[in-house]
Amino acid sequence: MLRRIFGAAAAALFLATTAAPAKADGLERFDKLLKPKIQGNALVYKSAKALGDSGFVLEGVTITPPPDQTTKAEPVHIKRIAVEDLDFASIEKNVAPNFARVRAEGIVIEGKAAEGIDLKEMAGIDRVTADAQLDYRLDPDRKTLTLNRLELDVNGLGRFELAMILDGVTPETAGQPADAMDKATLRTASFVYEDHSLLSKVVPAAAKMQNIDPNAAVLMAKGMLDGLKNGQGPEAQAILGAVAAYVADYQQPKGALRVTLNPPNKASAASVSDIKSADDAITSLGIVVSYAGAGAAPTPAAGPAKASASAAPAPGKTGCDSGSRLFVYHEDAWWAATARNTGKSGGCISRIEGESDDVVVGMDKTMTWAIDGPGKAVDKCKAGAKVLVLYKDGGWYPAEITEKPYAEGQCPVKYETDDDEAKVELKKIRRLD
């Protein structure tokens, strides 16, 4: 069932991001360029509306994917698909978009999870509703692909979230996964699974298929994980211990299971192929697996260390956990970055997205990560307001909204650093108060 949900979410997000508008109004672009390419009833919807000049919304959507060799295509119903931001300039040139932000809400899948498996009978699951999000940005000049979020929230069951940063990615290789894997290097990645009730349903169902007691199945799994600890270093043993503790708590986990990769050096497909053991993988990739029910896991010896208690940030700021996302203030602007380590003087060693060198900033120069940018959204122009403005180089620069607002959702601003003036869309303006 999860495979079908992921497939449905991917289909929804793919159709949305390939709905290639080329004119000002999002809905007009959709009607002109997407509809002629849709065959039969692959995509139908009850209503639609434009979402500014860079998006559109579809309500009451039904997607019927083409059948594969083993399964019959079943329609997927989606309450709402919202394309919130899309790189129309690239699409107009018939190349993959450099950025997209898409939400699919109320994805409904009914029927059997797979041939011969009736989850309604086994686990009481016959209908699944999910929400999905995709937010990514490719910087062609820096050759950096930032997956801010790929999330699937299976309502009432669990939530999956993936984020990562890859270097060495170009618009040409972005559409060719095999080529991208050979040339790209991983800077950081994180995977989070937050269980709501899925494990408490799936584990007994799987045990029933094997005609064994669920608790006995869990004990067998724990025994296998414990056996894998033999001959491994402390970091590998801690990871296996965290997974074993999570499995043992399948009825009600004590928090999310989080896996982070924060390589001390950029990891490529070639470097991964040279890994000979679990300890080598942990050291080379900076792997940390954390679960509250297992206690704190040690950081790999060769990887970045966790922030100390003395480096606690001020209210509204963030910490410096290795591999975590944050904003840092550097060279007159706030930049999206990845925490690498805690500096000897208490600052945060960070890697700004698209850069190859680390910078050290004080904890008072860090800010909590958010997909939409630092601080809070601005819903209207207010003369004299101190704000941050997203510039084309990716930095959020301090500015002030001037007295005469422009129309159509834009504000006039004056930058603090060089007194330049510009008119900026509201979505590119944030406030810190």
DSSP 174-230: HT-HHHHHHH-EEEEEEEEEEESSHHHHHHHHHHHHTTS-HHHHHHHHHHHHHHHTT
Nearest to 63 by CA among 115, 117, 104, 111: 104
- The Cα–Cα gap between 110 and 119 comes to 11
* Strand boundaries in 292-342, DSSP class E: 325-330, 333-342
DSSP type of residue 293: G
Write down the pLDDT at residue 80. 93
Whole-model pTM: value is 0.66
Per-residue pLDDT of the chain in tens (433 residues, 90 and over written 9): 445 545 555 555 555 554 443 345 777 777 766 676 777 788 889 998 888 777 889 999 998 877 765 566 678 899 999 988 888 777 777 778 888 889 999 998 665 544 444 555 555 666 778 899 999 988 888 888 888 889 999 888 889 999 888 888 887 776 666 666 677 888 888 899 998 888 888 888 888 888 888 888 888 888 888 777 777 778 888 888 888 888 888 888 988 888 888 887 777 776 677 777 777 778 778 888 888 877 544 444 433 333 332 233 333 445 687 767 789 999 999 998 888 777 777 788 888 876 767 889 998 899 887 767 888 888 888 889 999 999 888 889 999 998 877 767 788 999 988 777 888 888 889 998 7
pLDDT of residue 176: 66
CA-nearest of 337, 327, 325, 342 to 260 is 325
Domains and CATH numbers, the chain: 2-131 (no CATH), 201-294 (no CATH), 309-368 (2.30.30.140), 376-431 (2.30.30.140)
pLDDT (0 to 100) of residue 209: 80
Residue 388 CA to residue 415 CA, distance in Å, equals: 9
Q: How far apart are CA 427 and CA 372, in angstroms?
A: 8
Note the pLDDT of residue 310: 29
Nearest Cα neighbor of 34 from 53, 9, 14, 52 is: 14
**Exposure class string for 59-92: b at 16+ Cβ within 10 A, else e:** bebebbbeeeeeeeeebbebebbbbbbbbbebbe
